[in-house]
Amino acid sequence: MAFWIWGCALIIISAFVTDIRTMKIPNWLTLSAMLSGILIHFAADGFQGLLFSVKGLGTGFVLLLLMHMMGAVGAGDVKLFGGIGAWLGTLLTIQCIVYSVLCAGFIGILILLWRRETMQRMRNVARNLAGFFILRNFRSLTAGKEKQLRFPFMLAVLPGYVAASVYTLG
């Protein structure tokens, strides 16, 4: 199991570096993560390893695709979590996603506090909700989308991955 953790760690570190520099995760990295995870598990455990890897790939891809559809993550993150799933399987991939989302929330709060925009954002949220409930105006719920807080998701994935790995190995 430790081999899968360290192999996937190299992929995550590579994705972290490229995402911080360019806000993109390249397709060559995500596709090689998927293929190498499948091939390594197949070579190690045959059909059982192939099934383990493909289920993990599907889990990571589908869960992040749902987050992508909500506007929370980019397409590169979706493909990367397919690769993470191919390496780690279903259970550890889900743990990695949960820890990454928790880290992302913490990072988002820190950024809001650092920028001192928190009160302005809270007023905007209250105004939009009031517009929806009082005026029944659905457009007020989507107002301000262009001002969403954005940061590379890999800032949260790296500590989320470490937490999931430590929890699993410990």
Least confident range from 60-69, 121-130, 158-167: namely 121-130
For residue range 113-146, what is the model confidence (pLDDT) as tens digits?
A: 777 666 666 677 676 666 666 666 555 445 454 4
Comparing 168 with 12, the larger pLDDT belongs to 12
**% of residues, the chain, pLDDT over 90:** 61
| Confidence at residue 146, expressed as pLDDT on a 0 to 100 scale | 45
DSSP string, 61-109: HHHHHHHHHTTSS-HHHHHHHHHHHHHHHHHHHHHHHHHHHHHHHHHHH
pLDDT computed for residue 85 by the predictor: 97
**111 vs 22 pLDDT, higher one:** 22
- Does residue 2 have a pLDDT over 80? no
Which two tokens mark 29? 């990295």
Give the model confidence (pLDDT) of 91-118 as tens digits.
999 999 999 999 998 988 888 777 766 6
Q: Which residues of 18-27 are buried (b: 16+ CB within 10 A; e: fewer)?
A: bbeeeeebbe
For 109, other C-beta atoms within 10 Å of its C-beta total 12
Measured N-to-C along each axis, helices 154-169 and 2-22 cross at an angle, to the nearest 10 degrees, of 170
User: What average pLDDT does range 50-69 have in this prediction?
Assistant: 96
Average pLDDT along the chain: 86
Residue 70: band (very low, low, confident or very high) from pLDDT cuts 50, 70, 90: confident
Q: How many helices (H) and strands (E) does the chain have?
A: 6, 0
CA atoms within 13 A on the CB side of 56: 30
